[in-house]
Structure 1
Amino acid sequence: MGLRSGITERQRRFGEELRRLREAADLSGPEIGELLGMKGPAVSHTEAGRLTLNVERLHVWLDTCQVTDPDYRAGLIAMCQSNSKGWWSDFRPHVHSTALDLAELEASATGLDSYQTLLIPGLLQTKAYSETILEYAEKKVEFRRKRQHVLNVENAPPFRAVIHEAALHMMYGGPTVMRDQLNHLVEVARLPHVTIQILPFDCTAYSSTDAPFVLAHGRHHRLDTVLLEHPHNSSFLGDPEGVASFRRKFDQLRSLALPPLDSAAASPSPTSRDSCGLLQHIRYKVQGR
């Protein structure tokens, strides 16, 4: 079988996990290759995501490395068997590969955590807001709208968002677009698996200079992945220590942010010290523009 010319994040991460397991078992590439009947540089290509590994060989690899956790094994088997094809495949000519990888990651995630500083999270954006952010690129807007379906499917993953107050004040698209966007946040907060919190300007215990990020939870915590967002070079992070630091970071953000939006609460006062009260206050300001 030939080597892949393009490697998805799932394929890269799968190979990375295999390499970590091999090294933890103190095995060289040739040693595990001999056990699997793989010749030459095949092990290196597999660990780099350039070469497919069949499930039978995966079981041998996991058994050799003494992987007994059933959830971790199941997660790796699912990664091995996936062909990376989904609704996002149709958008390959129109969006960056990182966006395609994110869509695939979201589709398989058991939970999603998002921290944003100057933008509303993509999964929570209205069409008009997305159009402004994406400069009316039709296919990119359609792609973002398709991504949002992950919140509405049966057994949708829990989605938790911490949004810096600055993002609510940015007048992307003008007052009408932002008013509708703020209203949409209240509506989507009605979903039982969606939790939205606002990190206020007056929070003095946390630096707001951190890059926005998405933490996608896998079937096992060892398969969690972080996407560090940047306008030009967003990147994925999968090493255990790095991911653990972002888990702690998100927990800290949640503890410092205001209590979650509760759209079921009866007409919160604009002065209420919670996310709903702060959002209501900002909506009043936007309506007065």
Structure 2
Amino acid sequence: MGFRTDISERQRRFGDELRRLRNAAGLSAAEIGDVLGMKGPAVSHTEAGRLGLNLERLNLWLDACGVSDPNFRASMVTMCQSNGKGWWTEYRSHVVPGALDLAEFEAAGTAFSNYQTHLIPGLLQTRAYSEVIHEFADKKVEFRVRRQQVIIAENAPPFHAVIHEAALHMMYGGPAVMRDQLNHLIDMARLPRVTIQILPFDCTVYASTDTPFMLVHGPHSRLDTVVLENPHGSTYLGDPEGVAAFRRKFDRIKGMALPPLDPGAPGPSPSLRDSWGMIQHVRYKLLGR
């Protein structure tokens, strides 16, 4: 098998997990290679995602590293055998590789924890809002809309979004687009497994809330992944300590945010300041524009 020239984030993450398991077991690349019938350099290339691994060798690797958790073993088998193809494959020539990686991770996700600062989360955007963000690039907008199926499909995994109040005030596309976008947030909050909170401007606690991120919960907690957004694309974080830090960060942010949006409530309550009231307040101000 030849070396891969384009390594997906799933393939990279699979290799990282193999390396972490080997290091935790105190085995060198040469030692695990002896178990698998591979040379040390081939082991290193496998851990870097440049080489694949067949199922027999994967099971030998897991056995040698003392992995007994059946759920984790099954999740590693799934990652190993995946061909990386899905609905997103048809957009390969229209979006950046990082977007394809995100769609693949979302397809395997069991829950999502998303924090956004100046944008409405992608999975909650209207088409008109997304058109402005993507500068009316039809295929990119279509791709964004297709991604949203992951949280609106039957038996969709839980999706919890905390949105900074700043995102509600950005006039992307103008007042009409933003009014529709705020209405859409209310509609999405009616879905049984969608939770939306607003982090207000007047929050008095600092919790490093300047970086947007999404925690994609994997089929096993050891395979949770943090996707960090930056001007040059997305960065994927999978090391246990880093992921745990972002779990704590999201827990803290949602604790600082207003109570979740509840469209079933009779209306904003003067005695309770919540996300529903915040969105209604911003929406009311937009009516005069």
Q: TM-score range by the shorter chain?
A: over 0.9
RMSD of Structure 2 on Structure 1 (CA) = 1.2
The secondary structure found in structure 2 opposite 1:234 is: strand
Letter in 1 for 2:47: E
- Once residues 140 and 210 of structure 1 are traced to their aligned partners in structure 2, the CA distance between those partners, rounded to angstroms, is 25
Q: Does residue 256 of structure 2 align to residue 222 of structure 1?
A: no
- Once residues 281 and 223 of structure 2 are traced to their aligned partners in structure 1, the CA distance between those partners, rounded to angstroms, is 40
For structure 1, which runs of at least 5 residues remain unmatched after alignment? none
Alignment of 1:57-76 (within 5 A): 57-76=57-76
Q: Closer, same or farther in 2 for the Cα pair 1:42/1:85, shift >3 Å? A: same
The secondary structure found in structure 2 opposite 1:123 is: helix
- Cα deviation for residue 153 of structure 1 reads 2.0
The secondary structure found in structure 2 opposite 1:44 is: helix
- Once residues 78 and 153 of structure 1 are traced to their aligned partners in structure 2, the CA distance between those partners, rounded to angstroms, is 22
Is the CA contact (8 Å cut-off) linking 1:161 and 1:196 kept in structure 2? yes
Letter in 2 for 1:14: F
Letter in 2 for 1:84: G
- Once residues 62 and 105 of structure 1 are traced to their aligned partners in structure 2, the CA distance between those partners, rounded to angstroms, is 22
- Once residues 165 and 111 of structure 1 are traced to their aligned partners in structure 2, the CA distance between those partners, rounded to angstroms, is 23
- Once residues 124 and 187 of structure 1 are traced to their aligned partners in structure 2, the CA distance between those partners, rounded to angstroms, is 10
- Once residues 229 and 288 of structure 1 are traced to their aligned partners in structure 2, the CA distance between those partners, rounded to angstroms, is 34
- Once residues 272 and 96 of structure 1 are traced to their aligned partners in structure 2, the CA distance between those partners, rounded to angstroms, is 43
Q: Does residue 248 of structure 2 align to residue 245 of structure 1?
A: no
- Once residues 96 and 140 of structure 2 are traced to their aligned partners in structure 1, the CA distance between those partners, rounded to angstroms, is 9
Q: Does residue 85 of structure 2 align to residue 85 of structure 1?
A: yes
- Cα deviation for residue 231 of structure 1 reads 2.4
User: Paired residue for 2:8?
Assistant: 8
Is the CA contact (8 Å cut-off) linking 1:175 and 1:286 kept in structure 2? yes
- Once residues 110 and 233 of structure 1 are traced to their aligned partners in structure 2, the CA distance between those partners, rounded to angstroms, is 24
Letter in 2 for 1:221: S
The secondary structure found in structure 1 opposite 2:226 is: strand
- Cα deviation for residue 88 of structure 1 reads 0.7
User: Paired residue for 2:130?
Assistant: 130
The secondary structure found in structure 1 opposite 2:216 is: strand
Q: Does residue 107 of structure 2 align to residue 107 of structure 1?
A: yes
The sequence identity of aligned pairs, in percent, is 70
Q: Closer, same or farther in 2 for the Cα pair 1:46/1:208, shift >3 Å? A: closer
The secondary structure found in structure 2 opposite 1:104 is: helix
User: Paired residue for 1:211?
Assistant: 211
- Cα deviation for residue 54 of structure 1 reads 0.9
- Once residues 130 and 269 of structure 1 are traced to their aligned partners in structure 2, the CA distance between those partners, rounded to angstroms, is 32
For structure 2, which runs of at least 5 residues remain unmatched after alignment? none
Is the CA contact (8 Å cut-off) linking 1:271 and 1:278 kept in structure 2? no
Alignment of 1:1-289 (within 5 A): 1-39=1-39, 41-207=41-207, 209-269=209-269, 272-289=272-289
Is the CA contact (8 Å cut-off) linking 2:29 and 2:40 kept in structure 1? no
- Once residues 200 and 223 of structure 1 are traced to their aligned partners in structure 2, the CA distance between those partners, rounded to angstroms, is 32
- Cα deviation for residue 235 of structure 1 reads 0.6
- Cα deviation for residue 206 of structure 1 reads 2.3
- Cα deviation for residue 56 of structure 1 reads 1.2
List 4+ stretches of structure 1 deviating above 3 A.
269-272
Q: How many residues align?
A: 289
The secondary structure found in structure 1 opposite 2:148 is: helix
- Describe the superposition over 1:185-227 as per-residue Cα deviations: whole angstroms up to 9, x where unpaired: 0000001100000000110112565210010001121110001
- Once residues 271 and 119 of structure 1 are traced to their aligned partners in structure 2, the CA distance between those partners, rounded to angstroms, is 29
Letter in 2 for 1:69: D
